[in-house]
Amino acid sequence: MKSLNKAASAANRILMAFVLLLASLLFMYGMYVLYDIFYTGQSAFTSYDLLQYRPVLSYNEDGSEKTEGFSELKMINPDTVGWLELFGTHINYPVVQGQDDLEYLNKDIYGNSTLTGSIYLSAGNSGGFDDWYNIIYGHHMNNGSMFGDIDKYLDKDYFDTHKSGILQTEGGTYDLRVFACISTDSYNGTVYNTDSGAGELYPELKDYINEHAFNASALPEESDGSSILALSTCTDAVTNGRIVLFARLEPHDPSTDTFADYSGTKDTSTGKTVAKVMKAVGHYSISDHWAFLNLVSLILTVLTLLPVFAMRRKYRQLGYAKRRAKELKDQKETDKHIKEIYDDLRSFVRKMRTGTVIELLIAAAAVLIFIFTEDLSKRLVIRDKYTWLMVLTEAAALAVDFICFRYRGVRPEDEPSGNTDNDIRT
């Protein structure tokens, strides 16, 4: 009967450990899913780190314009062809161009797989924006990131107050003048046609815009030689639905600098307004991330302390050992066996106190290491150079638990039935 009770007790412990482990894994997975949803949306916005790589718009001594900083952007991604911003919107991104129009559909500028993709120029266009008609694609995000703000141009008030932008390229800088917004589908051969020949193709496109535009103003004439930029994104309303925003590309006029993120300063010698911009500094570092295994190790390390709050079989034995030793204190002088039990109990109490302090210090160290080495606002990786340290803290916590919280001395006699405090673990 006693053997059956021991077997049942052992099976119960195994089951409890399995349930706790399963619950912990499900909890961590749920937290990961929630974080992934949050991170995917947040990472779609242009980060401050990436803004530091925005090309610098400045002027030569003769007053001519020059753009600097593309070399650093190309060190991040050699497919970078420009930087696009629509003032007053979240559209403020580098523009890349892939071998085809699927390459950057689910890949960011750093080459990492992501559902938000990149802002990219059609593979059918010239990378220098030399074509009469250029198409840039971007995902529609409900939080307004990427091209999520383009559907706002369907509202006339928004359309009328957000008509300006800028496109920086290696070959020059262009002002954007928004002139139309339409709703169409992804199979439209008139809108999604990047063949050369402005004279033959633009009249058809112009007629289509006039017929289907939600909002439009001052469409370019066929003979003025303007280049046209189309910003295309999807819409939730229709499976293959697309919203396209059209803008003219005009040579940049420094006197009208209205950079949303920059403050213009006037050059007193020339009277010109010069854009004050962030300079591209530094290089992209692989350290800008956080590791999933580090978070798992941190949680497991903290879970080692959970019995303080959630289970009685770890720390309740400390009170029992102290109380039992006190009861045997007066008998230890006359009974050698009782003295041995008393000494074992007192040693166990000291080990438990020491173990509690060490486990608290290890948990605090694990939390501090994670805080100072990981940044949850960055992208997720499986492990990094600090993973071994986080795993070491968890191993140390488990070792302390095994050494300090297991009673290995001579067991005192069982308490009378009804006393539930007899809980020294073997």
Residue 20, pLDDT above cutoff 50: yes
408 vs 95 pLDDT, higher one: 95
Residue 223, pLDDT above cutoff 60: no
Tokens 């805080």 found at: 371
DSSP characters over 14-58: HHHHHHHHHHHHHHHHHHHHHHHHHHHHHHTSPPHHHHTTSPEEE
Look at residue 232 in the predicted model and tell me its pLDDT: 94
Look at residue 144 in the predicted model and tell me its pLDDT: 79
**pTM exceeds 0.85, yes or no:** no
Q: Are 249 and 224 in contact (CB under 8 A)?
A: no
Other beta carbons within 10 Å of 199: 9
Q: Residue 246: helix, strand or coil by DSSP?
A: strand
Residue 22, pLDDT above cutoff 80: yes
What amino acid is encoded at 1 in this protein?
M
What amino acid is encoded at 255 in this protein?
S
Look at residue 263 in the predicted model and tell me its pLDDT: 38
235-263 mean pLDDT: 71
Residue 317, pLDDT above cutoff 60: yes
What ranges do the domains of the chain cover?
Answer: 47-275, 287-404
Look at residue 137 in the predicted model and tell me its pLDDT: 95
Tens-place pLDDT, residues 321-372: 777 777 777 676 667 777 777 787 888 888 888 888 898 999 999 999 998 8
Look at residue 349 in the predicted model and tell me its pLDDT: 82
Look at residue 79 in the predicted model and tell me its pLDDT: 93
Tens-place pLDDT, residues 116-170: 889 999 998 988 888 889 999 999 888 778 898 999 999 999 999 999 899 998 8
Q: What is the mean pLDDT of the chain?
A: 78
Residue 260, pLDDT above cutoff 50: no
Q: Are strands 379-381 and 289-291 parallel, antiparallel or unpaired?
A: parallel
301 vs 53 pLDDT, higher one: 301
Percent of all residues in the chain with a pLDDT value above 70, rounded to a whole number: 73
Residue 410, pLDDT above cutoff 80: no
Give dist(CA 84, CA 74) in Å, integer. Answer: 15
The CATH number of 47-275, from 3.90.228.20, 2.40.260.10, 2.60.40.650, 3.30.70.3190, is: 2.40.260.10
How much helix, strand and coil, in percent to the nearest 5, is found in the chain? 40, 20, 40
Q: Residue 235: helix, strand or coil by DSSP?
A: coil
Give dist(CA 233, CA 148) in Å, integer. Answer: 8
Look at residue 281 in the predicted model and tell me its pLDDT: 41
